[in-house]
Amino acid sequence: MSWGKNTVFYQLNQDPDYEKHVVTWWDAAREGRYSGEFLKQLEKEREARPQVFKMEYEAEFIEEVDTWLSQDLLAKSCSEELEFLSFESQEKGRFHMGVDLAEHVDYSVIAVVRKDEGRLSLIHMHRFKKGTSLASVIGYAKILSERWRTIQAIYVDKTKHGDYIVEDMHEAGLRQAEGINFTQNTKQEMAQLMKQRMQEGILRTPYDRDLLDELNAERYELTKTGKIAFSHPEGTHDDRFWALALAVYAAETASPTPSRPIARTT
């Protein structure tokens, strides 16, 4: 299936002049088209990536009304010319890093955006294995900072680990590291900024299906106080979402050039 609703496939699917036939994985399984081993793999896929499973195997154009970043918006932000740069590469430019930290339940993620004139490009993202030590994450960031000239700012989530994680990064030589507490206000500001830059066509990402699915899975709701609360469905993660949000936030607020005003609309 094509991903997103702003596609020819979706438009034809909605056109009453065309006859539609929907065949799902269940129809194929009932006809004996799948082996028992393949059905076991499908079950694992359904548990691991429920949203992708519904689109790819159940032929559904799904998108919840409370999705923060729509499929069409994410598709707009993708650039065919943009590819992730490897950890081993030597790069020069104006880079900003976002570090979302976890140790057991979730993943630690590092995202790096390059800031060019009037454009932000996601050029590196690394998700660490569950259980990776904070020291290993800091070591990764340090090597990347030494290889790439110049990472101007590093915004790190210090919500769970406090100021000591920033102190550890400073001691490791990452003097440009700054801690960000994930309060409702700061998360709202970062998420709004990232969304606005996508809407403006300023923020670009490579086409990476796993990344896009995770960005698209983030949900929001308005609270009684008028604030925005964020969440993600059970079985999904949002570590890459917040690592990218941190990197964009660093690129805008830590830059010597004034940042654009943040729109407050959703």
Compute the average pLDDT of residues 41-68: 68
**Nearest to residue 178, comparing CAs of 225, 141, 215?**
141
Residue 28: pLDDT over 90: no
* Residue 258: predicted pLDDT: 40
How does pLDDT run across 128-184, given as a tens digit for each residue?
999 999 999 999 999 999 999 899 999 999 998 899 999 999 999 999 999 999 999
Q: Which residues of 152-178 are buried (b: 16+ CB within 10 A; e: fewer)?
A: bbbbbbbbebeeebbebbeeeebebbb
Residue 58's alpha-carbon distances to 42, 46, 260, in angstroms, are 11, 10, 42
What is the distance between the alpha carbons of residues 96 and 145, in angstroms, rounded to a whole number? Answer: 10
The residue assigned the tokens 């670009």 is 204
Residue 186: pLDDT over 90: yes
CATH topology of domain 71-253: Nucleotidyltransferase; domain 5 (3.30.420)
Per-domain residue ranges of the chain: 8-57, 71-253
Residue 24: pLDDT over 90: no
Residue 93's alpha-carbon distances to 27, 121, 124, 159, in angstroms, are 52, 11, 13, 29
**Nearest to residue 226, comparing CAs of 176, 172, 182, 265?**
265
What is the distance between the alpha carbons of residues 9 and 239, in angstroms, rounded to a whole number? Answer: 31
What is the distance between the alpha carbons of residues 230 and 220, in angstroms, rounded to a whole number? Answer: 4
**Nearest to residue 68, comparing CAs of 198, 262, 209?**
198
Query: For strand 109-116 and strand 92-100, is the pairing parallel, antiparallel, or unpaired?
Result: antiparallel
0.85 surpassed by pTM? no
Q: Between 26 and 157, where is the model more confident? A: 157
Q: How many residues does the chain have?
A: 266
Residue 241: pLDDT over 90: yes
How does pLDDT run across 95-132, given as a tens digit for each residue?
999 999 987 778 999 999 999 988 999 999 999 999 99
* Residue 257: predicted pLDDT: 40
Give the pLDDT band (50/70/90) at residue 44. Answer: confident
Query: For strand 109-116 and strand 203-204, is the pairing parallel, antiparallel, or unpaired?
Result: unpaired
DSSP string, 57-74: HS------TTBSS-HHHH
| Both tokens assigned to 191 | 């998420």
